[in-house]
Structure 1
Amino acid sequence: MTDSIELEAPPSLPKVFARAVASSRGRNGKGPLPDLQVVRRGVAIDPSQLADYDHVCGFTLRDEVPSTYLHNLVFPLQVSLFADKRYPYPLVGSVHLDNTLTQHRPVLIGEQLDLSTHATNARPHKRGVQVDVVSRAHVGDELVWEGLATYLYRGQRIDGNLPERPQELRGPREVSERDTSGELRGVQDEAPDGPGMVWRLPGNLGRRFAAVSGDVNPIHMNSVTAKAMGFPTTIVHGMWSQARMLGAIENRLPAAYRAEMSFRKAVLIPGTVRLVARERPGAWQLALRENRRSTVLVRGEVSPIS
């Protein structure tokens, strides 16, 4: 039978982060994922907090809530799950690999939400163990939103076969580049390229997004901590990248859609990036690229659902 942690109010994320980090050393990945969900009911959207988030992420002010903001609301539940002593993997050194958001219909300011989060599908990865964290938002009995975040726990081990590596087409040449773990890899990538929107990212972007999201992971705010974790400097939150990319095509999004993002390389700040968006039959193909070298940082696809 599934155990539940019921949150009456949003937790203090700095305190929960500190607890999860402090207990990371004792988490060795042994044992299965707990049959545990974290729940918070009757969540109201604060219009002023939403407005601050929209400003940082490039969304327009409107009655419809961006799908990425709903990830903001479930993120405290995710961190509470990671901090629970039954969760076997350490927060320190974890990497957000992929994030898929499914908006079944627009959520409006004024609607109250019941939120839940649980972890599932621990499986091998060539650099450790990857786990899916599933989050859902209901209005009454109606499922209105789902999130699937895949995290990599580097250096952990689990029984099972490694998945086959897909062939990724980048274009006319194959390149070698460093992935978010700092290791060299040869990749080909089918992400769109060409002219696009150029964004100059300021050095304080991580702190600004932390203020509106609650994600106070120091690799996004402090270059010393980022370097200690293997990055050359401070890096942007993956969820800022996904939000900013969706915000750029906000007026072209259908009412119900699935937005899949793969975080390929760390987005360093300060820096300059380019969003390339191409409308294909039935979907938008997106790529966030380092502007000068055109390296793919984030690969995305947005498709309508019925």
Structure 2
Amino acid sequence: MNAEIVNQLPTMAQVYAKAVKTLRRKGKNPVLPERTLVYRQASADAQKLAEFRRAVGAGMNGQLPSLYVHSLAFPLAMSLMVRDDFPLPLLGMIHLTNEVTVNRPLGEQESFDIEVSAEKLRAHRKGVTCDLVVRILTDGKQRMQLRSTFLSTAATMDGPKPAKEEHEEFVPGLPTAQWRLSADTGRVWAAVAGDYNPIHLSKLSAKALGMPKAIAHGIYLAARALAGIEPVGVGYEWEIKFMSPVTLPATVHLQFEAEDDEFEVIAWNPRKLKPHFELELELLD
């Protein structure tokens, strides 16, 4: 891929300021740009890190939470999507999964390089999906990879569509935790992470993009679930699958399970008995 050095990290506000022009993007058989954006010598902002920890209940342990690194680097990844050669609209993209591998956690004082690219464009029964990939390196060695999969319903691809996945009937267990999320949860998290996607901010702005109400940020939900189980000083990997959005305000029931070197978190709507997400974490050998 073509590497392009970026001298300044964009903000999410700058990205969304350019997002409206991408709404016109539609069509068949889109092609992703072969481009990697590179930013050298990034580092944590002490105030933003403290705000992140307070927002999700993460402890002070001397290392950077994986999703703090994601929130710092992701505006660069999103900036790929507002460039003229990116074929899919940014607004309206649906967040499906995150897969994260932490080869070795980053210390709070470490500087690191960020590389971002888009890959794996593929057909989906509702449109197309693609992955935005963030790679974190120190001294040329990969320390972390964060892969986010998004669905766009604005484009299609020729060929057979994947069959709808068959899911077993969801039967919730006994909750071990409960979250009460207020109507302004999306706005509060946007101020922390800089993600001002309108589907998270208010009922009115969410309706403009086809959602009945504002929904909680997936990254906020994942970061809060990880706050108590993210390991310290060792390599690990985790994956989250989003099943149904958390519409705000909300009460969310969760079940945390630990077994040997693995953790599982399941979250659901206690009234409708619909799962919101499943998160699995395990230590690396």
TM range (shorter): over 0.9
**Partner Cα distance (1:245, 1:55) in 2:** 14
For these two proteins, the number of residue pairs brought into alignment is 285
1:291/1:108 CA distance change after superposition, 3 Å:
same
Work out whether residues 29 and 89 of structure 1, in 8 Å CA contact, stay in contact via their aligned partners in 2.
no
1:20 and 2:6 aligned: no
Deviation string 1:248-296 (CA, Å, 9 cap, x unpaired) is 324x677211110011111111111112111245422211111333320
Letter paired with 1:67: S
Q: In percent, how many aligned pairs have the same letter?
A: 31
**Partner of 1:295 in structure 2?**
274
Letter paired with 2:177: M
1:11/1:213 CA distance change after superposition, 3 Å:
same
Work out whether residues 61 and 232 of structure 2, in 8 Å CA contact, stay in contact via their aligned partners in 1.
no
In structure 2, the gaps of 5 or more residues are none
Letter paired with 2:266: A
**Partner Cα distance (1:117, 1:149) in 2:** 11
**Partner of 1:244 in structure 2?**
224
**Partner of 2:183 in structure 1?**
203
Structure 1 residue 31: deviation in Å?
A: 3.7
Structure 1 residue 24: deviation in Å?
A: 2.3
Letter paired with 2:8: A
**Partner of 2:63 in structure 1?**
64
Letter paired with 1:216: Y
Structure 1 residue 169: deviation in Å?
A: 2.3
Give TM-score, length-normalised by structure 1. Answer: 0.87
Structure 1 residue 16: deviation in Å?
A: 1.9
In structure 1, the gaps of 5 or more residues are 173-191
**Partner of 1:43 in structure 2?**
42
> How do 1:93-242 and structure 2 match up within 5 A?
93-171=92-170, 193-242=173-222
> How do 1:264-303 and structure 2 match up within 5 A?
264-280=243-259, 282-303=261-282
1:166/1:254 CA distance change after superposition, 3 Å:
farther
Following TM superposition, the consecutive aligned residue runs of length 4 or more in structure 1 with deviations greater than 4 angstroms are none
Structure 1 residue 80: deviation in Å?
A: 0.8
**Partner Cα distance (1:31, 1:94) in 2:** 15
Indicate the RMSD between aligned Cα atoms, in angstroms: 1.8
Work out whether residues 89 and 154 of structure 2, in 8 Å CA contact, stay in contact via their aligned partners in 1.
no
